Amino acid sequence: MLLSDTQRRKQDESSDTLFYDTPRFVTHVDEGFIDQLTQLYRQRLQPGSRVLDMMSSWVSHLPEDVSFAHVEGHGMNEAELDRNPRLDHYFVQNLNENPRFELEDASFDAILNTVSVQYLQQPEIVFAEMRRMLKPGGIAIISFSNRMFPHKAIQAWSNSSELGRIELVKNYVRATPGFAEPEAIINAPTSSSIFQLFGLPSADPFYAVIAEAVQPLTRSTNETA
């Protein structure tokens, strides 16, 4: 077992559905972070491919001049998803109540998860689902910074250092059959922690874990339930 029951707990154990009931038309990270993420998507996503933006909102941070065959959106607030101009279709689902997606096996070239992985209480099932939905050769890009809704993040996240969180996400990938050894991109200016120490504004650190789907899966993870 990757996480203990305690490590999956949140300070606020009320349903996430209540917390995300109100739309938040804000960006959760600074412009520098978003620029780096959009640049990463430009490098790693194929134009004309099929993308799932999971745990999404009113923004997907995709390069404006790149078009995709289909961008599926998943999130928690319908008004946010409805306003997201990049989504061709979307659905709302609480992954802490139902971690399995009603989406086809091997139906996406890329799965994006932006500044949200810290809220997953059953990451092993969700990552197995991500792998199931990816085509062989497809990639998952999980990006995060050091910001969060602290009462909604799992304890394993809150209690880890920033580097420990990268290791945690890599371990989610490593625990999932059919993913290659994950790659991590780290851009945390050393000055940022010193700025924070003095309560001064600093750039958001940028972290991304990239996982490639390597081997064809022989059966759907839905069948293992």
Residue 205 sits in the site that holds ligand SAM (CB under 6 A): no
Q: Which is nearer to ligand SAM, 76 or 87 (CB)?
A: 76
At a CB cut-off of 8 Å and minimum separation 6, what does 110 contact? 44, 45, 46, 49, 50, 51, 52, 134, 138, 139, 140, 141
Q: What are phi and psi of 116, to 5 degrees?
A: -140, -15
Q: Which is nearer to ligand SAM, 94 or 191 (CB)?
A: 94
Taking contact as CB under 6 A, which single stretch among the options 62-70, 93-101, 134-142, 194-202 is the one that binds ligand SAM? 93-101
Q: Which is nearer to ligand SAM, 83 or 180 (CB)?
A: 83
Residue 76 sits in the site that holds ligand SAM (CB under 6 A): yes
Sheet containing 50-56, strands listed edge to edge, beginning at the edge strand earlier in sequence: 89-92, 70-75, 50-56, 108-114, 134-144, 206-212, 183-187
Site string for ligand SAM, 102-131 (x = CB under 6 A): ------------xxx--x------------
Q: How many CB atoms lie within 10 A of CB 41?
A: 20
* Residues at the interface with ligand SAM (CB under 6 A): 16, 20, 28, 55-57, 59, 75-76, 94-96, 114-116, 119
